[in-house]
Amino acid sequence: MSEATPTDRLYAIVEQGLCIGCGICQAVAGADTVLCTATESGYEQPVVIGDLDHATVDRIYDTCPGTRVGGLPPQLVDSDAQLDPVWGVWKRMVRAWAGDPMVRHKAATGGVLTALAGYLLDTGRVEFVLHAKASTKRPTFGERHLSFSQTDVLTATGSRYGPTAPLIDIDAVLDRGAPFAFIGKPCDIGTLRNHARHDPRVNELVRYWLTPVCGGYMPPASMDAFLRRLEVNPEDVTAFRYRGHGCPGPTRIETRTTVREAHYLDFWGDDANMWQLPWRCKICPDGIGEAADIAAADSWPGGSPTREDSEHDPGTNAVIMRTGPGVELLESAVRDGALVIERDIGPEDLTSYQPHQVRKKRAVWSRYQGLADENRIVPHTDNLRLEQLSVALPTEMQASQREGTRARITQGKATQPRPQPAPQE
């Protein structure tokens, strides 16, 4: 049998459903060699356009969130930090919201991440914030965004539940040589931590690491199906807001001639077990932002809003501070009025707000054994306690998670075609 080429090895990440479209392989290989772009699958994925060598692919495997995921680097764990088996390293957990009612209203939940981004800029702690906003090219996607002012930050409020590649040009961002904060999904945070092992500028320049807790995003094909259910042609969409303007606020779809709104529950469905997600999200070992200074979540009991209560919910974040800099930042922001704390909470509250995260965290190790059974790439993980969490499950549950993964692979549900650029690219 012939040896896998560098291209085969990169495409294996995609074909085995492990690519989340973060964009960092383009930064690692160079945009003249690997281009992350919309492909026929509807996702943004890497396409090899130049000479790729094995050393570069080794580096990609060491950085890509599909192949390597870590928790908080041990040197950042304070001696007085607590460790919860599910929720990871933490120093303080609170319910909180933005001090400015306009920010709280516009933002996805209570505006904690937006308020912190604005606070970091106002106080000169960073020169800019790297995060994501609605894509200018594809309204249901997100795109990397740099904010230098409050006005910039406000254009990026809300959660983007579509493909989003905030790290696509991380080299150019680091080339600025200026201190910045990064807000990205837990997998984006993990990717940048991976990149830090190869590029010392990351730890010099990234002063704060902030993340939304993340259950995954909507695959492009499911998004198209959702739009068609609303009798909207996906091609006609000119603007798409997933949530915000209340909590969760309406999902708002604009075309040149119409504005349609749907409830968050119409978008995601009432049952978290039935959410349509990319395969990588189904086997995600860290949706809770273990490697961030601060992770901000929703706080609906049971994990979902109700149709009645969400009409008047002003939005309250559950916030996990994991590091000393995270605690210092949040407490300073409260002192200066940028944030309001309602009360302290603990891991049991997070568990009641996020039952789907707890289920996934406990199941992931068994799912990885299913990957190994099928000779799939098993992501390398560090400091995430996955085996420990798994053995606490009844053996029959471990077996069913493992078997379920094998079944999905053999049924082709965990496989993507080899990336081909979409025609419009």
Ligand X SMILES: Cc1cc2nc3c(=O)[nH]c(=O)nc-3n(C[C@H](O)[C@H](O)[C@H](O)COP(=O)(O)OP(=O)(O)OC[C@H]3O[C@@H](n4cnc5c(N)ncnc54)[C@H](O)[C@@H]3O)c2cc1C
Nearer to ligand SF4, 338 or 358 (CB): 358
Main-chain phi, psi angles of 416, to 5 degrees = -120, 150
- Minimum CB distance to ligand X, residue 152 (Å): 10
- By CB under 6 A, the residues from 187 to 226 that bind ligand X are 188, 212-215, 217
Integer Cα distance of 290 and 286 in angstroms: 7
Nearer to ligand X, 159 or 381 (CB): 159
Binding of ligand X by 159 (CB under 6 A): yes
Binding of ligand SF4 by 217 (CB under 6 A): yes
Q: What is the DSSP string of 87-114?
A: TEEESEEEEEEESSHHHHHHSSSS-HHH
296 binds, options ligand X, ligand SF4, none, Cβ within 5 to 8 A by partner type:
ligand X
170 binds, options ligand X, ligand SF4, none, Cβ within 5 to 8 A by partner type:
none
- By CB under 6 A, the residues from 252 to 291 that bind ligand SF4 are 280-281, 284, 287
Helix (H, G, I), strand (E, B) or coil at 387: helix
Exposed, middle or buried by CB within 10 Å (0-12, 13-18, 19+), for 73?
Answer: middle
- By CB under 6 A, the residues from 163 to 182 that bind ligand X are 164, 166
213 binds, options ligand X, ligand SF4, none, Cβ within 5 to 8 A by partner type:
ligand X
- Minimum CB distance to ligand X, residue 418 (Å): 25
Binding of ligand SF4 by 22 (CB under 6 A): yes
Per CB under 6 A, the segment of 59-67, 86-94, 130-138, 338-346 that binds ligand SF4 is: 59-67
List helix spans (H) across 95-245.
101-106, 112-122, 150-154, 170-175, 186-196, 201-205, 220-229
Integer Cα distance of 12 and 378 in angstroms: 12
281 binds, options ligand X, ligand SF4, none, Cβ within 5 to 8 A by partner type:
ligand SF4
| Distance from the Cα of residue 252 to its chain's centroid | 21
Integer Cα distance of 92 and 420 in angstroms: 46
Q: From the DSSP assignment, how many helices (H) and strands (E) are in the chain? A: 17, 17
Binding of ligand SF4 by 46 (CB under 6 A): yes
Helix (H) or strand (E) holding 130: strand 128-134
Residues found near ligand X in the complex (CB under 6 A): 107-114, 117, 131-133, 142, 156-161, 164, 166, 183-185, 188, 212-215, 217, 296-298, 317, 354
The residues of the shown chain that bind ligand SF4, judged by CB under 6 A, are 13-14, 19-25, 36, 46, 60, 64-66, 185-187, 214-217, 280-281, 284, 287
